[in-house]
Structures are given as structure tokens and as C-alpha cells.
Amino acid sequence: MQEENKPELKKPDFHNWPPLQLNINAPVFLSFPHFYGVKDKEITEAVEGLNPDKEKHETFLKIQQKLGVPLEVRVRVQLNLKVTHSNYGISRRFPSIVFPIVWVEEGAEELPDYIIRWIYLATTLSYWLVPIFTYGTIVLGAFFLVLAFIGAYRNVVFTRENIER
């Protein structure tokens, strides 16, 4: 990507929120829905009808510890617009406010039964299969090594017998 085409990310200027301000300087901010987790009362009380709730508005990811497989995922994001008070046009009616535009929720709650069975098999059988495979390959390697030595010894013995005759 060329240097002039890279988006210019500016430092947040509003309550330490990460802005999505690109080259167009759009005052767009992301948050959890209903401003969940925002500690500034000025923001949360400026908009009526907000009821932040951890169960409904938090993003989370449950991962199976041994395999790293996501078991349950829920991503919740709210897009907000920072409106600054102005004395021009329609915006003169608005105070300076962070205005929630839309919030989106996406995720997967339950895995299909066949995937759950595979995860169960992978986690329970790994206790048995990993040691069996590890020690089995060591024993098998030792067995083939012994066979190689026996074959080399026989080859040397038979060669000497042929030379002596």
C-alpha cells in the first residue's frame, strides 16, 4: 500500500474512545451497545432509553482450552456519531452529544452436534492416543533399527563366507 493511500488515524479527542476517523475526519466512534462499559455519565445520560446490560451488550468469546476452537461467540458493536453543537441549520437544535446510530450483533451460540462430538473425541482420546502414538513410534523405530543391524550383520557374515570358499 502506498504511503499516500494509507488511512490517517488520528488520536482520539473524545473520552479516550478509539475513533474511526480516516482521511475524511468523520466523527464516528465505536462502543458496546447502549454505551455498555462507558463510565462517563454525561454520555450515558444524554440519550434516553439506554439500559446497558452485560448479558445483552457485551462482546464475548468462549474457547475450548486444549484445541483453541471457539465454542460460542457473540460480537456486539454500536456505531456512534459525535454531534458538536453548531449555530447553523438543523444542528443548532442539538447539543454536543454522542449519538448512537446503529448497533450490530453477530455470533454463533451453539455448534452442531457432530462438531461437538468431534471436539469431545479429540479432547478425550488425546489422553490415550498421544502417549500410545509417542511410545509406539519409539518402539517401532527401535524395532526397525534392530532389524537393520541384523540385516547388516547377516550381509557381512554371508559376504565373508562367500569370500572364504
In this structure, the answer to whether residues 121 and 62 fall within a common structural domain is no
Range of the domain at 154: 112-164
pLDDT tens-place string over residues 101-114: 898 999 988 888 99
Does residue 23 lie in a domain region? no
In this structure, the answer to whether residues 82 and 148 fall within a common structural domain is no
- Residue 4: all three cell numbers together: 499516500
In this structure, the answer to whether residues 36 and 74 fall within a common structural domain is yes
Does residue 4 lie in a domain region? no
Structure confidence at residue 25 (pLDDT): 66
pLDDT tens-place string over residues 129-142: 889 999 999 999 99
pLDDT at residue 45 is higher than 60: yes
pLDDT tens-place string over residues 2-23: 555 444 443 334 555 544 444 4
Total number of domains in the chain:
2
